Amino acid sequence: MLVAVLLLFLCCLSPATAEKLLVIPMEGSHWLSMKQVLAELNKKGHEIVVIAPESKILIDSSGIYEMKTYPVPFKKEEMEELMRSLSANTFSDDSLLTRFMNTWNNFKKSSAMFQASCRSLLYNKEMMKYIEESKFDVIFTDPLTPCGQIVALKFSIPTVFFLRGIPCAIDIHAAQAPDPPSYVPRIFSLNTDHMTFFQRVKNFLITLSEPFTCGMAFSGFETLASDFLQKPMTMTQLLSHGSIWLKRLDFVFDYPMPIMPNMIFIGGINCGQKKPLSQVSD
């Protein structure tokens, strides 16, 4: 099933020869699903290199890929504390406003930490020289932190994105998919795709606030990308260069939405480590 789900991704890698794949992952639970994909690619004979910060948490070494690390200006314990705070807020029963403010504060902290990590990678001359000389065929990365895409644009390498979603529907806009606020529920709204008139108004008001909130949250990455690439760059412009979007979504659990042909839903990958049902008789 996993091989079938990733068929389109594998099509961009030649079946006749082993290709070189550069992986720039995001820390946390995002990595656990991504590692399953790397295991399948390794079985196909592709050469895989994973680049991660030294202060990593879940990103580990493995025989299926080569691991390279670079120094960052924060400790592993700081990252672990931030991850715990993000998880606690995700499962909180607080009001919409409280959850929004907590998520906003945590997102600013995490964004600053990931920006520091990205800057450390981009301005690591030894690592940049290695990437340039290695002639990678594809970059496999999580666009929530667009460091991988910045590297891809720098060295003109095709990108495959692996994600669930990005705040403010930046991923939808970057892929040029329709995103009407009257029909597509916004994050934190708790609306479904069947909304009353007042829910649609609420959805529209949240949409109006997104350019401000996400503009503040991602401005550091935009500045970093613009400086490094030597041209003005927004998050939407950065991600618009993605070749394939592998989205860890499924319409069984998520509301229907318009998608583009290069968007592939792979929600089943989150259940890769499944357990058998217990045999309970009536």
Successive 10-residue mean pLDDT values, the chain, 282 residues = 52 62 90 90 93 91 94 87 72 70 75 91 97 96 94 97 88 89 76 84 85 82 96 94 90 76 83 68 55
Q: pTM value? A: 0.82
pLDDT for the residue numbered 3 = 47
For residue 2, is it within any domain?
Answer: no
pLDDT for the residue numbered 91 = 64
**Residue 61's domain spans which residues?**
19-270
For residue 70, is it within any domain?
Answer: yes
For residue 213, is it within any domain?
Answer: yes
For residue 275, is it within any domain?
Answer: no
Yes or no: say if 160 and 246 are a contact pair by the CB < 8 Å rule: yes
For residue 277, is it within any domain?
Answer: no
pLDDT tens per residue across span 231-273? 999 999 999 999 999 998 877 777 777 789 999 988 777 666 6
Is residue 156 classed as helix, strand or coil in its secondary structure?
coil
For residue 169, is it within any domain?
Answer: yes
Number of domains in the chain: 1
For residue 219, is it within any domain?
Answer: yes
For residue 10, is it within any domain?
Answer: no
Residues in the chain, total = 282
Query: In this structure, is the dihedral angle defined by the CA atoms of residues 58, 60, 65 and 69, taken in order, positive or negative?
Result: positive
- Cβ neighbours for 53, distance < 8 A, ≥ 6 positions apart: 27, 69, 70, 71, 72, 117, 120, 121
- CATH of residue 30: 3.40.50.2000
pLDDT for the residue numbered 223 = 95
